[in-house]
Structure 1
Amino acid sequence: MKSESRQGDNEFWTEIKMLSKFRHEHLVSLIGFCNDGQERLLIYQYMAKGTVSDHLYKLNRNGRTNPPLSWELRLKISIGAARGLYYLHSRHRVIHRDVKSSNILLDENWIAKISDFGLSKMGPANDSFSHISTNVKGTFGYLDPEYFLTRKLTRKSDVYAFGVVLFEILSGRPAIDIRLEEEQHSLAGWARHCVREGKVDRLIDHSLMGQISPACLKVFVGIAGRCLHTQPHGRPAMADVVMSLELALVLQQNKDSIELRTS
C-alpha cells in the first residue's frame, strides 16, 4: 500500500479478515501479508491473465488493446464471477460493495476470481437481514442508485454492479465513457434504454457480431437487464443469475445443432 493511498488501515485489515475466512475456486487466494512500520503489503496467488477489463477495453503495455475474447469465453468468465458472488452472499452473508470488471481477475486458465475485499461488509448472523446502513462507498458507474440515495446496502447492491459488468462483457466498453454521446456516458443507463427500446444490437461488441446465438443473447440480456432494475426488489438473487448464465452457455454451445435442425 502506497503511503499516499486513500485506502487506509481499515481496508487493509478488512481484506485480510475476509480472505482469511474464504476458500473458493472463484475468489482470489490470499497467501500472506506484511505489516511492518509504514509498509502494508498483500500477497495473492498470481493471476496471469490480469483483469476482465484488461481484455475488454484497456490498452496493454504496447499501447494496443488485447485480442478480443470469444463470446463463449466471456460467458464462462461471467459464470465464474457469478458463482464467486453467490458463494459470498449465500455462505458468508458478505456484500462485496465494489464489484467491477477490474476487480475480477483471470488465472492462466481464464478462471474468473473475485478480488479486492477492502470495502466488503458482513451481515449479521441472522440470515434474514435486509440491509446494512453504511456510508456510500464503491465505484462510480457501478453504484446501486437505491444504495446511493438511502445508504442502505444490500446483496442486491452487488447484483446491480454485476449487471453493469455483464453489459461490459457484452459491449466491450467501460461502465463510464465520457468520449461517447451524452446519452451513452453511463453504460447502465444506455443498456436500460436499449433493452427497453428493443435495440440490443446497439450494445453488442463489434468483434462478437455473428458469434452469439439469438436464444443465448435473449437469456443473457434478460438476466443482465433484471440486475439493473432501479429497485432492489426487482433484481434477481445471485443464485438466479448463475442459473440463467449457465442456461445461456448451454444455448450458445448448442447453437450449431439448433441451426442444423432449423435449416
Structure 2
Amino acid sequence: MPPRRRLLLLLLALACSGGGAAVDTAPGNATSSPLACSELSRVCTAFLAFPAAGNASVLQSMFDASPADLTSDPAASPGYAFVRKNCSCLASRTYLANTTYTVPSAVPLNATAAQVAVAAYAGLAVPPPGGALQRPPRPGAVVALHLICGCSSGPWNYLLSYVGADGDTVESLSSRFGASMDAIEAANGMPGPDPISTGKVYYIPLNSVPGQPYAAMSSALVPAPAPIQNTLPGMVVDVFDREKPIVFTYEEILASTDLFSDANLLGHGTYGSVYYGVLRDQEVAIKRMTSTNTKEFIVEMKVLCKVHHASLVELIGYAASKDELFLVYEYSQKGSLKNHLHDPQSKGYTPLSWIYRVQIALDAARGLEYIHEHTKDHYVHRDIKSSNILLDGSFRAKISDFGLAKLGVRSNDAEASVTKVVGTFGYLAPEYLRDGLATAKCDVYAFGVVLFELISGKEAITKAGAVGASSNSERRSLASVMLTALRNCHDPTCVGSLKDCIDPNLMDLYPHDCIYQMAMLAKQCADEDPVLRPDMKQAVITLSQILLSSIEWEATLGGNSQVFSGLVAGR
C-alpha cells in the first residue's frame, strides 16, 4: 500500500474513532510499551521496521536518517524498510530514539498533533511527555517525537522494533527474521508462544544488519529518447559510476529559460549563472557555464551522480552546446540561506524564526556528514557558505555547488595533499589558507561560520559598523568577531551580554540555553586547531538535541507567541 494512502487510512481511523484504542498515544500502553532501562548513559544501535512503499527521501526525513541508515526487505510481502537509529536510555528510564515530523497540509479536523504524528509512524512512535501535542496540529509545524527502540541485554547484537500485524505468529516472525522462537520470546518477556497482538511493538533479536541497501526511487523525469547532439570535447561519458543523468537538448534549455531572460535569472555563482526553468513539466534550476569550466562541470557531475541525500541538491541532468555547458538541478523554491539572513526584508523575505534556523543547520550538517562519512568515496566540499545552502518550499536545507569538491581525507591523514586554495574568504580554515591542505575539517570550519551567520544574521566578512566591529574597522571575519565575543562565555547566563551578537530579527524569540549551545558548537567548529574541531557526526548529534529542546521551548509558549501566530518566518 502506498505510504500516503496508508497514512490517510490511519488518520481516517483516528477521525472516526475520536482517537480511541486504534491508536493509543500514551507511552505505557499495551500497543506501544518502550523497554525499561537503568543505565542512563547507555546508547546502542537499534533498528525499526517500517511498512515501506516509498521514496527513500521521505523515510530519511521522517526518521532523521541518512541513506546509509536505510535497508529494505523487498522480497517480503508486505515489504519493510529497516531504519538504523541510535537508541538511548532517557530520563524516563525507557529506551527511545528521537526524531521530528513535519505535519502535512491535510489533517482530520478533530485530530490532535500527537495523533497525526503518531499515526504516520504506524505504531513506532510516541509523543514526548507533556500535553504540548494535544492541541490541533498546524500544517507545516515540526513535531518532536520519540521512536520506540531497544538495546539488547542478551547475547544478541541488535533489537529490531516491529509492530505486530494481522496473521503474525512467533513462528512466522522467527522464519521471517531468522531469529529463534526462544530468542523472540526471551527478548519480549513472553512465557511461551503467545499470540502476536496487532499494533503492539515487539523486539526481534538480531545478530546482523537486516535487509539489503534501500533503492531510492528514480527521478520523475525520464531520459530523452534521442542521443545527445552536442557532446563535450574530450569528455568521457562513463565518468558516472552508477546513475547517468538525463541528457537534455540545447533547444530544451533555451525554451525552458525563455532564451535566458533576465526574468528567469536566479543568481550568479563562482562558475556561472543560474536560471529558473521548466523542463518536461518539472521546475528546475539551470546552471549556465562556459566551456572553459569543463573541469568544474565534470567534477560536479561525477560527485552528484554518486551521492544522493535529502540534504544535498539533486542533479537531474545536463546539456551542452558548442560553447556552453549546462547543469540541471532540482529547483529550491526559497532560494539561498544567505538571502534569508542578510537584510532579508530588503529582498522581500520574512526573517527566519529560531526553529527554522536550527532545522536548516541540522539539515546542512547531515548533508556534510553524508559526504564526509557515508559515501563510497568521501568528499570535501571546499565551498560551504550560506549562499550554497538552498531552501526548498518547506525551508529544508540542501547543500549545492559541488564544482570545487575533491576526494576527502581526514585532518590527521599523512596523505593529505596540498592543493590550490579555492573557496570563499571568510569561510576558509586557517590551515587551508596557510598550507593548502584540504580535509573534512576545512568544511567543519566553514560550517561553524555558517552557524555564526545563523546566530548573528551577519555576513562572513563584516563591514564597518557591523556587530562587534569598531567604527574605524573596515573588514573583519565574522568568525574572529564571534570568537572574541564568546571568549568569556561559559554558560547560558552569558547570552544576555551577547545581545549585540544575536540577530535582532529574532526579536528575542529564542531559548537562551539553545542559542548558547549553538554558539558553543560554532566556536568548536571554528577552532583554529583542526584536531579540536568536532566531526560532522558530532555536530549532527548536538544540533538534533538543540532542535528537540527548541521545539519543546516553542510548545511552552502556547498560542500567545509570535512563533505560533506566524509573524516570524511566515509560519
Q: Same fold (TM over 0.5)?
A: yes
* Change over 3 Å in CA distance of 1:257–1:11 after alignment to 2: closer
CA distance in 2, matches of 1:46, 1:12: 18
2:523 is matched with 225
Query: In 2, Cα distance between the equivalents of 1:203 and 1:58?
Result: 15
1:11–1:118 Cα contact (<8 Å) kept? yes
- CA distance in 2 between counterparts of 1:64 and 1:192 reads 29
Name the stretch that deviates more: 215-224 or 101-110. Answer: 215-224
Matched, 1:28 2:313: yes
1:16 matches 2:304: no
SS in 2 for 1:212: coil
Structure number with bigger Rg = 2
Deviation at 1:201, TM superposition (A): 2.5
Which residue is 1:236 aligned to?
534
Deviates more, 1:196-205 or 1:135-144: 196-205
Report deviation, 1:66: 1.6
- The answer to whether the Cα contact below 8 Å between 2:290 and 2:323 also exists between their aligned partners in 1 is no
Amino acid at match of 2:363: G
2:552 aligned with 1:254, yes or no?
yes
Q: What root-mean-square deviation, in Å, do the aligned CA atoms of Structure 1 and Structure 2 show? A: 2.6
Name the count of aligned residue pairs: 257
After superposition, give the CA deviation of every residue in 1:74-105 in whole Å (9 maximum; x if it has no partner). 10011000000000000231000000000000
1: CA distance between counterparts of 2:405 and 2:516?
A: 32
Residue number among 377, 401, 421 corresponding to 1:116 in the alignment: 401
Per mean C-alpha deviation after superposition, the further-off stretch among 213-222 and 102-111 is 213-222
The alpha carbon displacement at 1:209 in A equals 3.5
Q: Percent identity?
A: 39
Question: Is the aligned partner of 1:205 residue 2:503?
Answer: yes
* TM-fit CA distance, 1:18: 0.5
Does the CA contact (< 8 Å) of 2:303 and 2:402 recur in 1? yes
Indicate yes or no: 2:476 matched with 1:185: yes
Whether 2:384 is the aligned partner of 1:99: answer yes
SS of structure 2 residue aligned to 1:138? coil
Q: In the alignment, which of 355, 359, 365 is matched to residue 82 of structure 1?
A: 365
Amino acid at match of 2:425: F
Shift of 1:173: 1.1
Superposed displacement of residue 179, structure 1: 3.3
Report 1:141-160 matches (<5 A).
141-160=426-445
Q: Which runs of 5+ in 1 are unaligned?
A: none
Q: TM-score, normalised by structure 1?
A: 0.89
Instruction: Return the match for 1:71 from 354, 374, 388.
Output: 354
CA contact (8 A) 1:55 1:65 kept: no
Whole-angstrom distance in 1 between the partners of 2:341 and 2:292: 26
Q: 2:460 maps to what in 1?
A: 175
Aligned-partner Cα distance in 2 for 1:94–1:210 = 38
CA separation of 1:217 and 1:6: change in aligned 2, threshold 3 A? farther
Q: 1:257 to 1:57 in 2, by over 3 A?
A: closer
Q: 1:7 to 1:151 in 2, by over 3 A?
A: farther
Larger relative contact order (C-alpha < 8 A, sep ≥ 6)?
Answer: 1
Per the alignment, residue 248 of structure 2 pairs with: none
Partners of 1:49 and 1:105 within 8 A in 2:
yes
Cα offset, 1:165, TM superposition = 0.3
**SS of structure 2 residue aligned to 1:177:** strand
| Cα distance, 1:177 vs structure 2 | 2.6
Aligned-partner SS, 2:319? strand
The gaps in structure 2 that reach 5 residues or longer are 1-271, 274-287, 490-496, 559-571
Residue 91 of structure 1 aligns with an amino acid whose one-letter code is H
TM-score by length of 2: 0.42
- Cα distance in structure 2, aligned partners of 1:58 and 1:207: 9
**One-letter amino acid of the counterpart of residue 27, structure 1:** L
Amino acid at match of 1:187: L
Does structure 2 conserve the Cα–Cα contact (< 8 Å) formed by 1:194 and 1:202? no
The aligned residue for residue 417 of structure 2 is 132
Q: 1:39 aligns with which of 298, 321, 324?
A: 324
CA drift of 1:123 comes to 3.2
Q: Distance in 1 between matches of 2:348 and 2:459?
A: 13
**Structure 1 position 252, deviation (Å):** 1.4
**Greater share of helix residues, 1 or 2?**
1
Change (3 A) 1:32 1:6: closer
Closer, same or farther: CA 256–9 of 1 in aligned 2, 3 Å:
closer
Secondary structure of residue in 2 paired with 1:32:
strand
Q: Deviations over 1:173-216 (max 9, x none)?
A: 11013233328731011010011043432210012142111221
Structure 2 CA distance for partners of 1:241 and 1:4, relative to 1, 3 Å: closer
Query: In structure 2, how many angstroms separate the alpha carbons of the residues matched to 1:156 and 1:103?
Result: 18
Query: Cα distance, 1:35 vs. partner?
Result: 2.3
SS in 1 for 2:398: strand
CA distance in 2, matches of 1:238, 1:12: 27
Q: 1 CA distance for matches of 2:503 and 2:393?
A: 24
Higher strand proportion: 2
User: Does structure 1 retain, via aligned residues, the 8 Å contact 2:464–2:475?
Assistant: no
AA in 2 matched with 1:185:
R
